[in-house]
Amino acid sequence: MDIQTLRTPSYPIDAQFVERWSPRAFTLDPIDERTVLTILEAARWAPSSYNSQPWRFVYARRDTDHWDSFLSFLNDFNRSWAGRAAAIVVVMSKRTFRIPGKDEELSLPTHSFDAGAAWAFLALQASLIGWSAHALAGINSDHIRSKLSIPDDFSIEACVAVGRAGDAALLPHFLRAKEVPSDRRPLVDMAAEGRFVDGT
Ligand SMILES: Cc1cc2nc3c(=O)[nH]c(=O)nc-3n(C[C@H](O)[C@H](O)[C@H](O)COP(=O)(O)O)c2cc1C
């Protein structure tokens, strides 16, 4: 079944939104650094509060000196499949910002919201050029902070595994049945004019 049959939008959105998904089965195709930077370039153009651009990225590609260290950032479950990814990106955000021309460092309550927008742009760009990006919250943030010397005023938001989607047979057995694009709850359960709805 193709992805558009599995994921049918209720309103006429661009196909890119339903065609992006988060596979775990990756081929062992390597990714060149220019492609990683192309994907991160899209993230750079995300909107942010005060245009503060609080997102930061550190990446490693498979079969480089950094790879084993980046794999050690993931929990056991995520490591069971993400070892075949072509790259892992650590997404961080700065909790403070400075208004241009001023010295004072102000709190930025939107730092995670803004980094989330950047992640979404990253994922869409990857998908548009034939790669897949899979966000990972199952990570060890303390370990990442210490290994990469991340300063205290930066939050570690998530990691992202980037790879080329492959056949589910590439996965450990216990993950194969899950390797299908997911659906979404109906829009009426989460959006309404003038009143709060929570259809969960
Ligand atoms: C912030 C974030 C953290 C996630 N963490 C994990 C994770 O640790 N392991 C995993 O296998 N998937 C993880 N996912 C993937 C989600 O389960 C997936 O995005 C969701 O089920 C929707 O599916 P789709 O991305 O294919 O549309 C994460 C996604 C996001 C956005």
Per the prediction, the chain carries an average pLDDT of 96
Say what angle helices 111-128 and 33-44 make with each other, to 10 degrees. 130
pLDDT in tens, 66-125: 999 999 999 999 999 999 999 999 999 999 999 888 999 999 999 999 999 999 999 999
Which CATH architecture does the domain made up of 24-167 adopt? 3-Layer(aba) Sandwich (3.40)
Which mutation among 112, 114, 136 tests ligand 1's pocket best, with the greatest number of atoms within 8 A of CB?
136
Exposure class string for 21-48: b at 16+ Cβ within 10 A, else e: bbbbbbeeeebeeebbeebbebbeebeb
Tell me how far apart the alpha carbons of residues 119 and 166 are, in angstroms, rounded to a whole number. 22
Q: What is the pLDDT of residue 200?
A: 78
Residue 179 has pLDDT above 80, yes or no: yes
* Ligand 1: lining residues by beta carbon, under 6 Å: 21-22, 78, 134-138, 158, 181-182
Is residue 80 a contact partner of residue 24, using CB atoms and an 8 Å limit?
Answer: no
Residue 137 has pLDDT above 80, yes or no: yes
From the alpha carbon of 139, which atom of ligand 1 is closest? Answer: 8
Q: What is the pLDDT of residue 156?
A: 98
Residue 1 has pLDDT above 60, yes or no: no
Ligand 1 center to residue 136 CA distance, Å? 6
